[in-house]
Structure 1
Amino acid sequence: APTQCAGCGLSASSQCAGCMDAPEYERGNAIPTFYCGAKCQTSHWAIHKARCTNLKKRRRLLRVAAILRVALLTYREALFDIPLTKIELRDGVLFLHRQLFANASPRRFPQHLTTNMAHKEAALTHNQCTLALALLGPLARKLLADIASFIQHLDLAIGQPVLSTKLVEGGTDSSGAPHTVLKV
């Protein structure tokens, strides 16, 4: 749909490719920039450059987060160390049942226990924030080296998670434990 050119105000349909599809952090703070042509885009660059650069960094950060997420899930799926016997959603909590005293050596994730992707990911990532930081922290720093001026390790109380998990049969309650994250 045609919109207004950021350079001259005329009708425009070409969006700035540099900041196109940048994620919004707050409603309306990643509104796309359109131009009627290359001439207007070039003349408007001095005004648009800082915003475009910032939105490019957001896109990059989102891509890096997606890469790190897939890397962690892939690792955990291949080397899963909880001998699960059942995954059960009850009263908004995902209960992860396991065998007591079973060999906890890493094995592939038991795919047959759930077909729900959110449940699978919750089981794969249960209590794994420190592992994620240890495994993926160096990769995150490398992938973000040219866009992040500061990366900090934090332990946070996250409040109510999207999907609470509880390890049954001998699991400790980690609901109040801090969540380890990288702040970029």
Structure 2
Amino acid sequence: MASKLCANCRKAASTRCSACLGAPRYNEGAGVDIDTFYCSSSCQKAHWNQHKQICKSLRSRKQLARATSILKDIVYCIFRHATRFRYASAHISDSVLHLRKEPRGTPEQPNTDDKDTFQLFSMPSDTDPLAAEAALVNQRSMEAIFYLFLWARELLLPAVGELCVEIEEYWVSIQKPKFVVKYTLGPGHVAEPDICRHWLYKLKLNNGEVWAFDPTGAEYGDPEPLCPWQEFESRTSAEIVHMETFGSAFFGNEQGQEESSSYSFVYFHVEQQNFQRLLTDKFMKEIRTEYGGKINNLLKGSDEAFEESKMKFLNDWDHNVQRAIGNFYSEREQAQMDERTRMCVARYVPDPDDELAEAYGREDYAAAMPNWMAAVDRVMSIPLPPQS
């Protein structure tokens, strides 16, 4: 390995600035991406005026990498404890991810309830790690964007996370996935792969850099959550379907939903909002207090201090997710979700036989989906009478 030269005196050197060490690459070999080495602490101190602007940019990247790694782990923890799709097996062969779905219920008593229960994600112990990770996040990219909104706002946004000047939610078509997905639904029944439609974040930093943050990229074979946006586009040949403002998935403004059952659709949205509330309301207050009023303080400190803080946070989060699931299935929470769904359907979903429905036309239901989702948010804010 060739020796490195001290940035100050040009002697052989092997030590890098610990403050920016480990920052992700943005533009290999150009400007701020050039490694800076020192032969001694005195040379490092003498060179600080030349290095500090580069160091500042690299520290921003390093903090971004820390934030996105935590955000990915947050949503993975939710998915591990609260999955609806069970797979009996997963393996990758010839650029195809084969997922064999686990049947629900029994042939005599199949589970056809619209309100599926959360289950613990599991895979056979000999499953390839990438295949298992892809199965965990398969078809859940939009769900991840929904659950991560409050956390991403705390860790990334200006005046809060102080990293990004803009965050956008992108729905893209992945043209060059590392693998496509085939589902085995039963004996002799294999579903051909669909085009991979996928949600992710586009992040614009204060220093002008543009990054792709994809917490569920393992779905198509890219488990690393962070890379430059240009690299993401080049690697995946992603075609943009449409772009949404930050928070659109959370607030229910996404377009193009097509559901056959209005009640089950509204119930699902109510359920998602309710589970999110149980996950975050109490826990985020506790974490904010623990870190001096700003959750993004979690990202600070030396590499060792950060890893220790991250481990503690994720352990606490794991316990919190399990607690939230227990509360979610309490009689009180389930009754409230049923009541809120009925309120929403009664107030905002026209009966097929009423005059309003006739005025809209018989095919208005798919077009009305965004309004229903916004209506759910309004109904969720209506206090229910206390249960006896």
TM-score range, shorter chain: 0.7 to 0.9
Tell whether 2:140 aligns with 1:121: no
Partner of 1:89: 92
2:144 counterpart of 1:132:
yes
The structural deviation recorded for 1:4 is: 1.4
For 1:7, the equivalent position in structure 2 comes to: 8
Say which SS state the counterpart of residue 22 (structure 1) adopts.
coil
Measure how far apart 1:177 and its partner are. Answer: 4.8
Instruction: Trace 1:76-115 onto structure 2 (pairs within 5 A).
Output: 76-98=79-101, 99=103, 102=111, 104-112=116-124, 114-115=126-127
Pick the structure with more helix per residue. Answer: 2
Specify every segment of 5 or more residues in structure 2 that has no aligned partner in the other structure, as ranges.
105-109, 204-388
Q: 1:89 to 1:37 in 2, by over 3 A?
A: closer
SS at match of 1:112: coil
* Correspondence for 2:29: 28
Question: What is residue 60 of structure 1 aligned with on the other side?
Answer: 63
Q: List alignment gaps of at least 5 residues for structure 1.
A: none
For the aligned residues, what is the CA RMSD? 2.7
> Higher RCO, 1 or 2 (CA under 8 Å, sep at least 6)?
1
Identity %: 28
Equivalent pairs, count: 184
Paired with 1:111 and 1:176, the residues of 2 have a C-alpha distance of 25
Q: Distance in 1 between matches of 2:94 and 2:111?
A: 27
TM-score by length of 2: 0.43
TM-score (normalizing by structure 1):
0.83
Alpha-carbon spacing, 1:88–1:17, altered in 2? closer, same or farther (3 Å): closer
Amino acid at match of 2:55: C
* Displacement after TM superposition at 1:2 (Å): 5.3
8 Å CA contact 2:174–2:196 kept in 1: the answer is no
C-alpha displacement of 1:179 = 1.6
AA in 2 matched with 1:153 = E
Mean alpha-carbon deviation: is it higher for 68-77 or for 125-134?
68-77
- 1:158 is displaced (CA, Å) by 2.4
Higher alpha-carbon Rg: 2
Tell whether the 8 Å contact from 2:89 to 2:123 is kept in structure 1 after alignment.
no
Q: Extract structure 1 runs of 4+ deviating beyond 3 A.
A: 88-91, 100-104, 170-175
Distance 1:142 1:151, change over 3 A: same
